[in-house]
Amino acid sequence: MSFSLVKRWCETPLMRRVLQFKVYRRKIQSYNMTYTLLRHRWMKRLPTAVFSSSFSTQTDKDTIDLSKFPVDRVRNFCIIAHIDHGKSTLADRLLEMTGAIATTDKNKQVLDKLQVERERGITVKAQTASLIYSHQGQQYLLNLIDTPGHVDFSYEVSRSISACQGVLLIVDANQGIQAQTVANFYLAFEAQLAIIPVINKIDLKNADPERVETQIEKVFDIPREECIRISAKLGTNVDKVLQAVVDRIPAPVASTDEPFKALVFDSNFDHYRGVVANIAVFGGRVKKGDRIVSAYLGKTYEVNELGLLRPHEHPTQKLFAGQVGYIIAGMKDVKEAQIGDTLYLQEQPVEALPGFKPAKAMVFAGMYPMDQSEYPGLRSAIERLTLNDSSVTVQRDSSMALGAGWRLGFLGLLHMEVFNQRLEQEYNASVIVTAPTVPYKAVLSSPKLIKEHGSEEITIVNPAQFPDRSVVSEYLEPMVLGTILSPDTYTGKIMTLCLNRRGIQKNMVYIDDQRVMMKYLFPLNEIVVDFYDLLKSLSSGYASFDYENAGYQAADLIKMNILLNGQPVEELITIVHRGRAYSAGKAMCERLKDSIPRQMFEVAVQASIGSKVIARETIKAYRKNVLAKCYGGDITRKMKLLKKQAEGKKKMRRIGNVEVPKDAFINVLKRKDK
Amino acid sequence: MIKHTLPAARRAFSPGLRCFSEASGGEISEDVFERAGHPRLTKQASLYVHWPYCLRRCSYCNFNKYIRRENNDHMMTECLQRETETLLQLSQVSCITSVFFGGGTPSLAHPSTIAAVLESVSRRAYLSDKAEVTLEVNPTPVGKSKLEDYCRAGVNRFSIGVQSLQDGDLKILGRDHSSHQALQTVEEARRLCPGRVSVDVMFGRPKQSAESWENELSELLRVCDDHVSLYQLTLERGTQLFKQVLGGEVTMPAEDVTAEMYQCARRILHQHGFLQYEVSNFARHKAVSHHNTSYWKGRQYIGVGPGAHGRFVPRGEGGVVREARTQTLEPDVWIREVQQRGHGTRRRIQLSHLELLEEVLVMGMRMSKGINHKHWELFSPQLGLHEVFGISNDVQELLQSGQLILDDRGLRCSWDGLALLDSILPALLVMLERQISQRLQMDHHADGQTKRISNPQ
């Protein structure tokens, strides 16, 4: 097997930017080797002559001639896997072996650019890399579309999948099938993609590929012979994977003879060049200077630049049917590059592709600056971050206790965590994040209200706006179908936990003689806060969990008020299931009791439903609060203390006659630290 | 213009300053008057003298005290005298109203030291024969034996650190005397200064119960004189006791228990004719501590000795603003500084008008009589108590709940309120700041910058 002729064609542009002079020297030394100059915007100032390649077959140093890759020489695929099963390592190897990046020890998660991705070992943002691969004397263009592994990002996954014809389903030879493996499999299966099972980490001591093959056979109904056993870390059998991509994944169905038609499956924002849209060409061809139209907006743009992602942008002259690449066409706003939009040539209108359902936020959380003076900074950080993650919904919100902030909607819990982490790491913003809530729905019964809202069914994101039972015929809550995989020794404990969370078991199968897969229907509300942590701790970390949305179901929901000496606290209103009201109320009262300082009078902390009190804690009054000794020498210290208290007093929120420090709200509202 | 030139003139004529300032007293503009205080305030002060040495460390104490390596009585005496004279000169006070020797353990000082300091005072200011001169006494046999000499030196009031009548507790607290020795010292002191002996006792001690405290207090009342100071033992960081409690070796009584102890002590002392005149101080037959009362009334005081604090207007260098002054902490360094420049003042901070009023408020409210209108007017002639506090909702609530009283007499805590003073003060401080800053803004609008005081320093 030989690698592409354009092997080592490019170093990563970033490397080149950082090591411009080093590269320069190396180029001279290796004058007769296979290096070829890639004209890149960072390199423009360097004299091109020095870099002229002596490589005879590659005369045009600027472009890869994509016309050499007709549709039947193109394969579009993605890699899906449970977290840490080695997806990114395999991607690194594929990139190296096809010469997209140099082979060094330093290639670790090349496609995971974000700090959060590298730290958590996950992919958040889909990346694309075009690989040029020679197989049986033919050159193939393999487009690897890297997908986020987690179902929270299934929106990104399904977008990526729609541009693919096949997937590599990676399973750890030691851990076997995990919850995310199952969830991802179904996404691919439903999209009718060719699935190539790859068993990774066979070099590990405890690797048991036999067993994993059995699981794959049992759970996914894929014959064990189709599995490829590899070690991505050592590179073992990775070439077989490339061969399988060519042999088993069908070429995209597209023709260069048709009019140009492309799907926008992702977009990024670049401050200098505007929107960079990732497209899959479904028909025809497109070149620099073409005038293209967005089917969604009807706006016309001129193509300024296009090319392959290898994984870094590599400009080419044209893109042809079946190929995947990027396009820059003077779009100034990410909203102009609507994901799922269809692009076509101005003079040749086509019917728009089906596109995607927009992602729906399923987990909401309030976000507030630690200090109100940090509001503008946090605002711009959130704006910048949402620019590249259009799935986050942003709504301004304000709380009497926490000040001005936002209510953000996320696709799921991990999505929320990743967003927070990026906010902190990339924008250095410190925020108070409130405990997540889910969007409830109410079916209104009063014609007047229906008229007011313009629909019979309303969605409630802010608990304070929860409509009264009397005007509602039914409340609905979002449900999810959860998949849990675990060694069977923990089955009992897990079932108890699920039952406590109002889970209904749908299914339970042994995927081999020790591991069980359970499916439960859960109210989303029951799993958003601490379910995953509890599951992990009761199974010593062995159980894995994943979920997919499963619509709405009628639920017996009630609004719970928290009262301080009889006065309701607006920001603590909570929507709970009737059966969970008591324990939720008790927990909130306890947390409040611990965080409200003693006052000069007794404070009753109560949880109530309607006029009925369901939980109560009492903060006893101070009986003595005075410094015993205070003479001349002590004043300075004493004054400082009192002044600090006076300052704190100014910031306290008064509920009736009770003074509540901001910290108390934070303690009650924020997510518990893990 | 006069208020701008006046301080400069004072500085220029500082040798004859006392005369000058007295003569010009009547002409002092309102602003200077307001910030420097009434002449009655700036011409007199009390004197606190700090003796920094102890024989051993008490387990609960985090005060500025040192174990002496060698006897330096002679040097200490000289330095205390020198600093007293320097600061008296700087303050330009004509009268010292009281002297208090505290520590440390001032009863370790030689009586001649006490005499020497008092002589220095008399050289620079008027010190009446009747002025209260208090000495803190550690009730050991040695301390007891020196009482008579202290009296001869000029001390006329003793404050005796009895702390506890339980020998076991005295041991835990790290005290170097027994309860018996303490009682003997009290007896001797009463013989020498009848009606002018105070005893210090501590409650909230490790493992103490409300009941045992009641018994102890009754026992104490049989032997004590006319003044009792009660302190709740507070756990201070960095003390041995703090470590013991943290380590679980020693348990402290719960908050509710110490609150009960305090209330019960107030009741019992009241029944025995002791009036509570301050949060921790009780007296019968009007035997109040004049020295301490002057702190609570916001009067000037001069602090002499390592780590001593003072509050006075340095009129000797033309100052018109009261300063918060702190002397150097470490005795050796302090000695060197006094020898080199006559005083060991380490920090001086000018108090703004608001800061001064804040101190007046915080200290004044500790007295059961609180702050009367006249007392307040002395410091705040333009904004009365009613104007500052009358309109606040917080204050209204405190008045309604009966914790606070604001009437013709002035502002004070009720019996119940006094035990909760630290919960009341923040509300009052917030109000005070708001009113004063509003007033400042109004003045600015009214007559521009002219109300601003130019600072002579």
**Hey, what domains does chain B have and what are their CATH numbers?**
44-295 (3.20.20.70), 354-444 (1.10.10)
State how far residue A650 is from chain B, nearest Cα, in angstroms: 7
User: Which residues in chain B are contacts of A633 at CB distance < 8 A?
Assistant: 48, 303, 307-309
Q: Does residue A336 surpass a pLDDT of 50?
A: yes
Q: Taking CB atoms and an 8 Å limit, are A630 and B363 in contact across chains?
A: yes
Q: Which of these, A330, A334, A407, lies nearest to A367 by C-alpha position?
A: A407
Q: Which residues are CB-contacts of A225 (< 8 A; sequence separation ≥ 6)?
A: none
Q: Which of these, B117, B96, B120, lies nearest to B43 by C-alpha position?
A: B96
Average of per-residue pLDDT across A208-220: 93
Q: How does residue A362 score in pLDDT terms, banded at 50, 70 and 90?
A: confident
State how far residue A662 is from chain B, nearest Cα, in angstroms: 17
What is the pLDDT, as a whole number, of residue B236?
A: 87
Q: Taking CB atoms and an 8 Å limit, are B420 and A633 in contact across chains?
A: no
Q: Which of B234, B262, B359 sits opposite A635 (nearest CB)?
A: B359
Q: What is the pLDDT of residues B137-157, one digit of tens each?
A: 999 999 999 999 999 999 999
A561-600 as b/e, with b when 16 or more CB fall inside 10 Å?
bbbbbeeebebbbbbbbeebbeebbeebbebbbebbbebb
Q: Which of these, A520, A547, A544, A534, lies nearest to A178 by C-alpha position?
A: A544
What is the pLDDT, as a whole number, of residue B446?
A: 65
User: Which residues in chain A are contacts of B45 at CB distance < 8 A?
Assistant: none
Tokens found for residue A73: 């020489």
Q: Taking CB atoms and an 8 Å limit, are B292 and A657 in contact across chains?
A: no
User: Which residues in chain B are contacts of A648 at CB distance < 8 A?
Assistant: 426
Q: Taking CB atoms and an 8 Å limit, are A633 and B48 in contact across chains?
A: yes
What is the pLDDT, as a whole number, of residue A521?
A: 96
- As annotated, the residues of chain A forming the CATH 3.30.70.240 domain(s) are 440-555
Whether A615 contacts A582, CB under 8 Å: yes
Q: Taking CB atoms and an 8 Å limit, are B48 and A632 in contact across chains?
A: yes
Q: Does residue B126 surpass a pLDDT of 70?
A: yes
Fold exhibited by the domain A363-433: Alpha-Beta Plaits (3.30.70)
Q: What is the pLDDT of residues A583-600, one digit of tens each?
A: 889 989 999 999 898 998
What is the pLDDT, as a whole number, of residue A160?
A: 65
Q: What is the pLDDT of residues A54-69, one digit of tens each?
A: 222 333 334 577 788 8
The SS3 assignment for A80 reads: strand
What's chain B's average pLDDT? 88
Q: What is the pLDDT of residues A229-238, one digit of tens each?
A: 999 999 999 9
What's chain A's average pLDDT? 80
Distance between CA A134 and CA A243 in Å, rounded?
Answer: 10
- Compare A120 and B348 and report the one with higher pLDDT: B348
Q: Does residue B44 surpass a pLDDT of 90?
A: yes
Q: Taking CB atoms and an 8 Å limit, are A623 and B401 in contact across chains?
A: no
Distance between CA A328 and CA A41 in Å, rounded?
Answer: 14
Q: How does residue A181 score in pLDDT terms, banded at 50, 70 and 90?
A: confident
Distance between CA A249 and CA A498 in Å, rounded?
Answer: 39
Distance between CA A448 and CA A403 in Å, rounded?
Answer: 33
What is the pLDDT, as a whole number, of residue B302?
A: 98
User: Which residues in chain B are contacts of A600 at CB distance < 8 A?
Assistant: 401, 403, 420, 423-424
What is the pLDDT, as a whole number, of residue A145?
A: 80
Q: Taking CB atoms and an 8 Å limit, are B262 and A624 in contact across chains?
A: yes
* Residues A335, A337, A342, A345, CA torsion sign: positive
Helix, strand, coil shares of chain B, percent, nearest 5, are 50, 20, 30
Distance between CA A402 and CA A399 in Å, rounded?
Answer: 5
Give the residue from chain B lying closest to A630, CA to CA.
B363
Strands A261-270 and A363-369: unpaired
Average of per-residue pLDDT across B10-20: 35
**Residue A634 burial (CB count, 10 A):** 14
B236, B423, B432: best to mutate for the A interface, most A CBs within 10 A = B423
* Residues B273, B277, B279, B282, CA torsion sign: negative
Q: Among A152-156, A270-274, B268-272, name the one with the lowest average pLDDT.
A: A152-156
B177 touches chain A (CB under 8 A): no
State how far residue B5 is from chain A, nearest Cα, in angstroms: 32
φ, ψ for residue A663, nearest 5 deg:
-55, -35
- As annotated, the residues of chain A forming the CATH 3.30.70.870 domain(s) are 363-433
Give the residue from chain B lying closest to A597, CA to CA.
B423
Give the single-character DSSP code of B13. T
What is the pLDDT, as a whole number, of residue A463?
A: 81
Q: What is the pLDDT of residues A294-307, one digit of tens each?
A: 988 889 999 999 99
Q: Does residue A636 surpass a pLDDT of 90?
A: no
Report how many Cβ contacts below 8 Å link chain A to chain B. Answer: 104
Q: Among A413-422, A424-433, B179-188, B448-457, name the one with the lowest average pLDDT.
A: B448-457
Written as one letter, the residue type at A372 is: Q
Distance between CA B426 and CA B416 in Å, rounded?
Answer: 17
Q: Does residue A53 surpass a pLDDT of 50?
A: no
- As annotated, the residues of chain A forming the CATH 3.30.70.2570 domain(s) are 558-669
Average of per-residue pLDDT across A453-479: 88
What is the pLDDT, as a whole number, of residue A100?
A: 67
- As annotated, the residues of chain A forming the CATH 3.40.50.300 domain(s) are 71-248
Distance between CA B408 and CA A667 in Å, rounded?
Answer: 45
Distance between CA B195 and CA A257 in Å, rounded?
Answer: 117
Distance between CA A39 and CA A317 in Å, rounded?
Answer: 13
Average of per-residue pLDDT across B371-381: 95
Average of per-residue pLDDT across A663-668: 79
Give the single-character DSSP code of B97. E
Q: How does residue B456 score in pLDDT terms, banded at 50, 70 and 90?
A: very low
Query: If 0-12 CB within 10 Å is exposed, 13-18 middle and 19+ buried, where does residue A352 land?
Result: middle
Q: Does residue A39 surpass a pLDDT of 70?
A: no
Q: Which of these, B360, B329, B359, lies nearest to B345 by C-alpha position?
A: B329
Q: What is the pLDDT of residues B49-103, one digit of tens each?
A: 999 999 888 888 887 778 888 889 999 999 999 999 999 999 999 999 999 999 8
Distance between CA A252 and CA A262 in Å, rounded?
Answer: 13
Q: How does residue A627 score in pLDDT terms, banded at 50, 70 and 90?
A: confident
Q: Does residue A385 surpass a pLDDT of 90?
A: no
Distance between CA A353 and CA A356 in Å, rounded?
Answer: 9
Q: Does residue A479 surpass a pLDDT of 90?
A: yes
Q: Which of A620, A629, A650 sits opposite B231 (nearest CB)?
A: A629
State how far residue B71 is from chain A, nearest Cα, in angstroms: 26
Q: Taking CB atoms and an 8 Å limit, are A657 and B420 in contact across chains?
A: no
Q: Which CATH superfamily is domain A71-248 in?
A: P-loop containing nucleotide triphosphate hydrolases (3.40.50.300)
What is the pLDDT, as a whole number, of residue A356?
A: 63
Place of tokens 């994101």: A461
Average of per-residue pLDDT across A429-457: 85
User: Which residues in chain B are contacts of A643 at CB distance < 8 A?
Assistant: 358, 429
What's the N-to-C CA distance of chain B in angstroms? 17
Distance between CA A664 and CA B111 in Å, rounded?
Answer: 56
Q: Taking CB atoms and an 8 Å limit, are A649 and B418 in contact across chains?
A: no
What is the pLDDT, as a whole number, of residue A200?
A: 95
Q: Rounded to an integer, what is the distance from CA B103 to the centroid of its chain?
A: 13
DSSP string across B236-268? -TTSHHHHHHHTTSS-PPPHHHHHHHHHHHHHH
Average of per-residue pLDDT across B171-196: 95
Domain A440-555: top CATH class: alpha beta
* H-type alpha helices, B380-420: 385-389, 393-400, 415-418
The SS3 assignment for A272 reads: coil
B368 touches chain A (CB under 8 A): no
State how far residue A619 is from chain B, nearest Cα, in angstroms: 13
What is the pLDDT, as a whole number, of residue A158?
A: 63
Q: How does residue A628 score in pLDDT terms, banded at 50, 70 and 90?
A: confident
B397 touches chain A (CB under 8 A): yes
* Residues forming a β-bridge with B304: B49
- A87 annotated to bind ligand: yes
Fold exhibited by the domain A558-669: Alpha-Beta Plaits (3.30.70)
- Compare A168 and A461 and report the one with higher pLDDT: A168
What is the pLDDT, as a whole number, of residue A570?
A: 81
Q: Taking CB atoms and an 8 Å limit, are A646 and B48 in contact across chains?
A: no
What is the pLDDT, as a whole number, of residue B439?
A: 85
Whether A227 contacts A209, CB under 8 Å: yes
State how far residue A626 is from chain B, nearest Cα, in angstroms: 5
**Residue A554 burial (CB count, 10 A):** 12
What is the pLDDT, as a whole number, of residue A119?
A: 60
What's the N-to-C CA distance of chain A in angstroms? 50
Label each residue of A590-646 as H, E or C: HHHHHHCCCCCCCEEEEEEECCEEEEEEEECCCCCCCCCCCCHHHHHHHHHHHHHHH
What is the pLDDT, as a whole number, of residue B375?
A: 94
